[in-house]
């Protein structure tokens, strides 16, 4: 019997150690098969001797029955929160404030700092008695949390016994409480969400919600199936431990076998701290976890203590928050917006919320299929995201906050502007208003024309006014506007009318390719228009070409060619072109305009991962190809850029990180080709379809 006890102890120690090597250090020293062999041996010994099963046994990570509810736990010391700043200046101000409060003999210049990532997860407090993990709790209100021990045990990186490495000889206090953050790594989150969707379940809006939802499960076997990770950063209580600095505390935690973030720094001056924070902000998109900022801590723990607390925020630490990419707000309503092509897109009307320095009142809901898949409802609290200068969009609802009053978002049966019934083409998810006279479409088309022809001084509101007043029935009518008609409108005086007409007149000198762009043919943005104009140097040549001739042009695919042929096949369009001709616009290339310009993405290879905010995978591929680039399915040394969307795939992401392949988002991709909002690349490009004042 003693031999068996001895063997069980050995096995536990070994397995816990190998777990630590694998999950915390990322450096296993035995094969998976060898590990499994040890694990099975322990399992069968414990089955034969259930009286010897102990809580620190690695076989006991998932155990026990589902609970009725979570018990309350009082924390050994208040679990404080943090003051924060978003500006580098705020860091200097913080330091200036505490400089006045330093004890006798301590000078501000002598302070040193530890800077750590602020991982966006869920705060947890872990209790160890004689080196064994006995209890884990949520933060709760900072004094009392909830007992989620059974769930926390399932996190593989959490040491069930410390030190995880038996070779470590540091003292283990009889009681130790450690603070950390449980989170879901981005690659695991993406995979997890995909598996939810495949099973017809709703995806989570972000990794934080996924982590929180996973830890709130009453049945630990569900939590065990969720890919949670942990990182620890503070000792809340440690009997008899003598640790003087935060840097030593991190070291101690690391030695005991706790996962500690790698991206931490020990810095001497505030300038170093600020530089590091800014470095960090740039690096943010390349990491496999979501950090919403960094935490700056005075290294000297006694000093931290002496500086005390304001409200719930210790003076000795400060969060430097990165610009938000996400906010939560209420979805008040969903409107259908009519695009230039007549496509109806759902747009969320939101309770105004601040995000990245602007107030957001509307956000894209992409399309009705997406709304149904994510089960977004009116009345939901939703997560709004925004990356770079891309249009904000609704990432998903927070289902836990529903009260039952939420209503589904339905696809409209009629155009919200002209009232005509909508049509859904068989092979598309979008519904369309096909009324050629629909004023909403007309406004969008004219606005697009004005932007493409660079008619400065003719704003969107004025365009709308001209349409509403019946002065403009198509873009060509701009050229027959008369001063006396405009002067009758509110807000126009002699001078402004004169300027406006002069700007319209001047646009007649724009080159042929701009006119071609301005027509708003689907899939024909400025680059395609230039390509077409080189091969078909007049509108007549292009109108006479058939689909085959058009798609034979390098850089033009069948989809574009079909769209061009369809456009010129419609009498309404031909009539407008004749009006433009009469007005004196350039409908043919001038000699000097013909010089060759290489496509902006020529020779570049791209890989796409994750969901892009406004383009489907196919649209993004078409976009890149149209500008001369190539898209491949996996990252290699030949990849020039990884285009990263929401929930990126782990393999591509890691490979790109390894190889140092630059990562860009959709906005940056658009910037590379100089394509802004006026650049219509597919019928669903949302920006132009959002209401004014977004
Ligand atoms: S220190 C007394 N360090 O951010 C120290 N907090 O907004 C107070 N967090 O609720 C916290 N990473 O859960 C600290 N490296 C880190 C952190 C961190 C994430 C969380 C923490 C807290 C919140 C404060």
Instruction: Write out the H or E segment, with its range, that includes residue 663.
Output: strand 663-664
At residue 14 the predicted structure's pLDDT band, cuts being 50, 70 and 90, is very high
The answer to whether the CB of 83 is under 6 A from ligand 1 is no
Give the tens place of pLDDT for each residue, 373-432: 899 999 999 999 876 556 789 999 999 899 999 999 999 999 999 999 999 888 777 889
What is residue 388's predicted lDDT score, i.e. its pLDDT?
55
Euclidean distance between CA atoms 203 and 271, whole angstroms:
42
The SS3 of residue 119 is strand
Query: Ligand 1 centroid to 313 CA: how many Å?
Result: 10
Q: What is the mean pLDDT of the chain?
A: 89
Q: Flag whether pLDDT at 691 surpasses 70.
A: no
Q: How high is the pLDDT of residue 517?
A: 95
Give residue 675's pLDDT: 59
- State pLDDT tens for residues 140-197: 999 999 999 999 999 999 999 999 998 999 989 999 999 999 999 999 999 999 898 8
Tokens representing residue 510 in the block:
């724009």
Find the 590 Cα to ligand 1 centroid distance in Å: 64
Ligand 1 pocket, mutate which of 75, 79, 81, 263 (most atoms under 8 A from CB): 81
Contact assessment for residue 397 and residue 380, using Cβ atoms and an 8 Å cutoff: yes
Catalytic residues: 118
At residue 478, φ and ψ (nearest 5 deg) are -60, -35
Domains and CATH numbers, the chain: 2-62 (1.10.287.610), 84-269+286-321 (3.30.470.30), 439-593 (1.10.150.20), 605-673 (3.40.50.10190)
pLDDT(7) > 60: yes
Comparing CA positions, the residue from 622, 679, 623, 688 lying closest to residue 340 is: 688
Residues above pLDDT 70, as percent of the chain: 95
Contact 573, 567 (CB under 8 A): yes
**pTM here?**
0.66
The pair of structure tokens assigned to 514 is 């701009």
CA 563 vs CA 179, 523, 616: distances in Å: 60, 7, 19
Whether ligand 1 lies within 6 angstroms of the CB of 196 is answered as: no
Ligand 1 atom nearest residue 120's Cα: 19
How far is the centre of ligand 1, averaged over its atoms, from the C-alpha of 81 (Å)? 6
**Mutation probe of ligand 1 site: the residue of 119, 138, 177, 295 with most atoms within 8 A of C-beta:** 295
pLDDT of res. 683: 31
Return the pLDDT at 654: 81
Gap between the Cα atoms of 447 and 73, Å rounded:
61
Distance CA(444)–CA(494), nearest Å, equals: 27
Q: Other CB atoms closer than 10 Å to residue 89's CB: what's the count?
A: 10
In this predicted model, what pLDDT tens digit does every residue of 189-238 receive, in sequence order?
Answer: 999 998 988 888 888 988 999 999 999 999 999 999 999 999 999 999 99
């Amino acid at each position: 019997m003693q031999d068996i006890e001895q063997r069980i102890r050995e096995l536990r120690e070994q397995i816990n150690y190998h777990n630590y090597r694998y999950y915390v250090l990322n450096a296993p020293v035995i094969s998976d098969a060898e590990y499994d062999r040890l694990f099975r041996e322990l399992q069968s010994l414990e089955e034969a001797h259930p009286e010897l099963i102990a809580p620190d046994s690695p076989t006991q990570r998932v155990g026990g029955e589902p609970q009725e509810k979570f018990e309350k736990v009082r924390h050994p010391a208040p679990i404080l929160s943090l003051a924060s700043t978003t500006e580098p200046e705020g860091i200097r101000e913080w330091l200036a404030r505490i400089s006045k409060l330093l004890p006798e003999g301590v000078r501000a210049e002598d302070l040193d700092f530890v800077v750590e990532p602020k991982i966006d997860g869920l705060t947890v407090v872990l209790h160890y008695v004689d080196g064994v993990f006995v209890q884990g709790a949520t933060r709760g209100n900072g004094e009392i949390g909830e007992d989620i021990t059974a769930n926390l045990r399932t996190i593989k990186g959490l040491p069930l016994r410390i030190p995880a490495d038996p070779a470590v000889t540091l003292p283990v206090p009889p009681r130790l409480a450690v603070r950390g953050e449980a989170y879901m790594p981005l690659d695991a989150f993406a995979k997890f969400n995909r598996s939810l969707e495949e099973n017809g379940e709703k995806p989570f809006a972000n990794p934080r919600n996924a982590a929180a939802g996973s830890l709130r499960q009453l049945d630990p076997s569900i939590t065990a199936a969720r890919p949670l990770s942990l990182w620890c950063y503070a000792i809340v209580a440690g009997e008899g431990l003598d640790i003087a600095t935060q840097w030593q505390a991190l070291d101690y935690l690391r030695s005991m076998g706790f996962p500690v973030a790698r991206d931490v720094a020990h810095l001497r001056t505030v300038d170093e701290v600020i530089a590091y924070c800014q470095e960090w902000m740039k690096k943010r998109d390349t990491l496999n976890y979501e950090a919403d900022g960094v935490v700056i801590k005075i290294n000297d723990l006694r000093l931290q203590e002496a500086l005390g607390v304001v409200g719930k925020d210790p003076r000795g630490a400060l969060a430097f928050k990165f610009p938000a990419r996400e906010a939560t707000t209420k979805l008040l309503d969903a409107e259908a917006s009519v695009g230039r092509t007549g496509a109806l897109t759902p747009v969320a009307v939101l309770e105004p919320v601040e995000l990245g320095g602007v107030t957001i009142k509307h956000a894209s809901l992409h399309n009705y299929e997406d709304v149904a898949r994510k089960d977004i409802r009116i009345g939901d609290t939703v997560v709004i995201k925004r990356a770079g200068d891309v249009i904000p969009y609704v990432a998903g609802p927070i289902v836990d906050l529903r009260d039952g009053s939420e209503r589904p978002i339905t696809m409209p049966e009629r155009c919200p502007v002209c009232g005509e019934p909508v049509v859904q083409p068989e092979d598309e998810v979008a519904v369309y208003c096909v009324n050629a006279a629909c004023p909403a479409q007309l406004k969008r088309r004219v606005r697009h024309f004005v932007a493409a022809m660079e008619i400065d001084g003719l704003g969107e509101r004025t365009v709308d006014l001209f349409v509403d007043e019946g002065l403009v029935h198509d873009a060509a009518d701009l050229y027959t506007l008369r001063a006396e008609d405009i002067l009758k409108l509110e807000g126009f005086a002699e001078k402004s009318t004169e300027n406006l007409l002069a700007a319209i007149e001047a646009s007649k000198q724009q080159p042929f390719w701009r006119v071609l762009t301005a027509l708003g043919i689907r899939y024909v943005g400025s680059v395609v228009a230039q390509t077409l104009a080189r091969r078909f140097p007049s509108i007549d040549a292009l109108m006479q070409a058939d689909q085959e001739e058009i798609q034979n042009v390098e850089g033009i695919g069948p989809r574009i060619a079909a769209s061009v042929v369809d456009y010129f096949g419609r009498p309404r369009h031909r009539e407008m072109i004749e009006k433009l001709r009469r007005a004196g616009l350039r409908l043919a290339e001038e000699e000097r305009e013909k010089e060759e310009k290489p496509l902006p993405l020529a020779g570049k290879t791209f890989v796409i991962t994750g969901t892009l905010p406004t383009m489907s995978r196919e649209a993004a591929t078409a976009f890149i190809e149209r500008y001369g680039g190539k898209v491949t399915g996996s990252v290699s040394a030949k990849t020039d850029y990884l285009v990263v969307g929401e929930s990126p795939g782990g393999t591509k992401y890691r490979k790109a990180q390894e190889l140092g392949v630059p990562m860009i988002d959709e906005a940056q991709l658009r910037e590379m080709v100089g394509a802004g909002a006026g650049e219509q690349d597919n019928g669903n490009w949302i920006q132009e379809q959002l209401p004014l004042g977004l």
